[in-house]
Chain A
């Protein structure tokens, strides 16, 4: 009885599935899926050799500082970094006094309450503060940015596939639409107010190219030339740090743990062999 019922259920489900497959296959052959412009022209990020790649990877503090400078002078006008506090910048190699100065001189003030009147007011941030938001709310952000909300960057490199490479590619991937695209997909012309970027999922990005000219940010002495590509790499490295500040702790702990486990496992194997020595199995 069980087997009869099971066979009937099996014939029903398998039959429905094969029927669905059949009609799907007919539809697929009679009307092959139309290629989309995203499918044809979207590109995967270019691969960069980062200092933090691999099991022994670590952050290049000079690069993180340069990246922070790019964030501060370019990105921070629109993009928040709400999960990161000024005090965290000590990881980049700044000392206590430098962090204090960075916080104090930050262009955006921290929200506060006037202690006398209770009215909302602002003050200079202190190291314990997170980076203040550039816009009071999403409505203000949309109003100032052609209806698009600039996303928070704290976790950007972890919230995209291949994030560090993606941010670098995106920042350097602006350009005119390829002629071939306009020939094949005349309807896909980038609308006014958007910007073509071959690394962006739907190819048209609300953000204007933020890094446009060499020397847009002035790097200190002894640093590489601030080309657009260099600045993009540096800020991508910085945003990798903001997303994964404990990366170095994680990798160094991992080396120690795996080493310990290898030794322990060899010992466990030897004791297993010793205990079983008298038993064939």
Chain B
């Protein structure tokens, strides 16, 4: 794995040597996140977000497991058990706010991680598998977050569950039986709540397993870097520990400060007030909206207002919403440019920034009521989203003239000083 000059594990402590001879776990950890992993020396702060995503996953696992000790997964008691956690469990308010906001911050860091990959071409050969596994993690996260939002059994929990499972109801012929089967009834109820809780507890461990595959696949070619130029020799890399553990430690501190500010001073800022009203099947909220991290996809879902011959608009919306994520799985084969980094792709870069703005607009429209002018805006934005990935990117990668690439990572770092480059 990795490069021939990477440092080798040599146990100092006799106990570690004894363990390593019998089960090379210390060696495995050393090569994965220790000095044995050689990493390009020029990673910028955007490369902190992989570690931060891993941290967010652990945070959710730890807070979630403790919350589950106090939570009652039954439609009769779920809402009150959450309030019991907030009022009577020691430190319960902290755990619950940490978990609810932790989900939001998990998505924030993962979205930054994804957009970093999009800009620097991290999805390109030889790292396609890293990208694909990352998308699997993203899909699992979405499922987990959706089911987690149902558990407090407030109004948005109930109606969100109804709307999202209703998406499957849009499938012709078999749609409604599938929806009933998923929910264990005709509407969300105790059966749905119980299975959502069970899966909400299971899926994070599946995510953890796919994260291990994601990192494993990353370690085959090694990390990419902001220039997108391949590692050429030992002077291009530094050992992960202590160089990047130190840098990630600083990044983690900054992340935790922002997280703590929201958690302690605005813990309900990212939530919806309606979820503090107990679920009531007889009363529909004025605007049913999912959590903010689903808004761009929700906007795409609602942007389709016209039937296409015999295909109803609702089904089109569902197909487009799923397509908007699934198309990322073929991205490595849509963008054929041999240059990875957006730094050296002037035309690609313009469209990339346009995509960033576009997704932000989609997000805004997804959170707004389904009325004009938001629907019209989201139609334009969604049209660009599909055009960007499916039409523009393949053309850009054909016609673009990339800027000259540096000869090596070291040269990019030290500039064109032959003496300095030679000295390293």
**Which residues of A does B touch, CB under 8 Å?**
2-3, 6-7, 9-11, 13-14, 16-21, 23-25, 28, 33, 55, 83, 88, 154-155, 158-161, 163, 201, 243, 245-246, 249-251, 253-255, 257-258, 261-262, 264-265, 268-269, 271-272, 275-276, 279-281
Contacts and interface: CB of A to CB of B under 8 A. Distances in A.
Interface stretch (B125-133, B176-184, B267-275): B267-275
Main secondary structure on A side of the interface with B:
helix
Contacts of A281: 41-43, 413
Nearest to B257: A261
B263 interface: yes
A261 B253 contact: yes
Among A3, A16, A265, max chain B CB count under 10 A is at A16
B23 interface: no
B309 to A, nearest CB: 11
12 contacts: A10-B386, A10-B390, A16-B306, A16-B308, A20-B306, A20-B379, A21-B376, A21-B380, A154-B83, A258-B257, A265-B253, A268-B252
Contact of B257 (A13, A163, A262): A262
Interface stretch (B3-11, B61-69, B186-194, B243-251): B243-251
A13 B333 contact: no
By Cβ-Cβ distance, the 8 closest A-B pairs, closest first, are: A254-B264, A10-B390, A265-B253, A159-B276, A21-B379, A17-B383, A14-B383, A13-B386
A14 B389 CA distance: 11
A261 B391 CA distance: 46
A3 B334 contact: yes
Nearest to B271: A158
Contact of B273 (A3, A158, A251): A158
Nearest to B414: A280
A28 B376 CA distance: 9
B29 interface: no
A250 B93 contact: yes
B330 A279 contact: no
Contacts of B336: 3
B242 interface: yes
A28 B373 contact: yes
A252 B316 CA distance: 50
Contacts of A7: 390-391, 394
A26 to B, nearest CB: 11
Among A20, A253, A276, max chain B CB count under 10 A is at A20
Contacts of B108: none
Given A10-B387, A13-B383, A245-B87, A275 B250 contact: no
A253 B42 CA distance: 38
Nearest to B397: A3
Main secondary structure on B side of the interface with A:
helix
Interface of B: 41-43, 80, 83, 86-87, 93-94, 97, 238, 242-243, 246-247, 249-250, 252-254, 256-257, 260-261, 263-265, 267-268, 273-274, 276-277, 286, 303-306, 308, 316, 320, 323, 327, 330, 333-334, 336, 371-373, 375-376, 379-380, 382-384, 386-387, 389-391, 394, 413-414
Given A17-B304, A251-B264, A254-B260, 9 more contacts: A3-B333, A16-B306, A17-B386, A28-B373, A55-B264, A154-B83, A279-B238, A280-B413, A281-B41
Contacts of A6: 327, 330, 334, 389-391, 394
Contacts of B93: 246, 249-250
Nearest to B381: A17
B327 A258 contact: no
Contact of B304 (A20, A255, A258, A269): A20
Nearest to B274: A159
Contacts of B390: 6-7, 9-11, 13-14
Nearest to A249: B93
A69 to B, nearest CB: 22
Contacts of A257: 260, 264
Contacts of A33: 371-372
Contacts of B253: 261, 264-265, 268-269
B194 to A, nearest CB: 23
A269 B387 CA distance: 42
A10 B389 contact: yes
B414 A55 contact: no
A17 to B, nearest CB: 4
Contacts of B371: 33
A18 B41 contact: no
A2 B333 contact: yes
Contacts of A161: 273
A151 B401 CA distance: 65
A52 to B, nearest CB: 12
A125 B80 CA distance: 20
A25 B391 CA distance: 25
A272 B383 contact: no
Contacts of A18: 379-380, 383
Given A11-B391, A18-B383, A254 B265 contact: yes
B19 to A, nearest CB: 28
Contacts of A271: 246, 249-250
Contacts of B41: 279, 281
A265 B273 contact: no
Contact of B254 (A3, A255, A265): A265
